[in-house]
Amino acid sequence: MSKPIGVRIDSKQEEIWHKFKEFVSEKYGKKHTVLGNELVKALQLYLELYELVANNKREPETQLVTSKSGDLEVKSMKETSYDLLNTIIACRGNLEQVEDELQDIPSSARDKLDKLRKALFKAQKIVEERIEAIR
């Protein structure tokens, strides 16, 4: 059984919440019953990343600086790499879902999907190697 939990979000970060809800809606075609689960997954990933950094007793090397809502946000190369890895994995999952939903795919389209799948797999391996090198 689930229960509602409320939080307040600063107006500067409100756009992140809207992007997250939009992401969940696009991923599942709905928000009801899945938004909370996806939020918990995101929080678990955040905590796991924090624990990895804390266990190494050092902050990851800062490589990327982005501007966000008038504030300066500094992101580590490791955090950026995990973001990229999660995006690649989500793309692979979406590709598999598309292939499962399509019954009669022309061979030329199937070849293109296969090339895309291989490119995503290769990109995933490169990012995983980069994450290992950062550790």
The stretch 47-74 carries a mean pLDDT of 57
Q: Please, what is the Cα angle at 13 between 8 and 14, to 5 degrees?
A: 70
CB 88 within 8 A of CB 124: yes
Q: What is the pTM for the complete model shown? A: 0.42
Secondary structure class of 32 (helix, strand, coil): coil
What beta strand segments (E) does 6-112 contain? Answer: 62-68, 71-76
Per the structure, the count of domains in the chain is 2
pLDDT tens readout for residues 88-123: 888 888 888 887 778 788 888 888 888 888 888 888
> In this structure, is residue 39 part of a structural domain?
yes
Residues 53, 78, single domain; the answer is no
Domain that holds residue 49: 13-58
**Position 2 in a domain:** no
User: Does 89 map to a domain?
Assistant: yes
Specify the pLDDT at position 68.
47
- Is pLDDT above 50 for 61? no
Is 39 in contact with 2 (CB distance < 8 Å)? no
Burial of 74 (0-12, 13-18, 19+ CB in 10 A): exposed
Please, are residues 21 and 31 in contact by the beta-carbon 8 Å criterion? yes
Determine, yes or no, domain membership for 3: no
Neighbours of 83 (CB within 10 A): 13
Digit-coded pLDDT (tens) for 12-56: 888 889 999 999 899 889 888 888 888 888 888 878 777 776 776
Residues 18 and 30 in one domain: yes
| Local confidence band at 1 (pLDDT 50, 70, 90 cut-offs) | low
Q: Name residue 64's beta-bridge partners.
A: 75
Same domain, 23 and 52: yes
Examine residue 88 and state whether it is found in any structural domain, yes or no. yes
Q: What's the rounded Cα separation, in Å, for the pair 6 and 36?
A: 11
User: Does 5 reside within a domain?
Assistant: no
Q: Are residues 68 and 52 in the same domain?
A: no
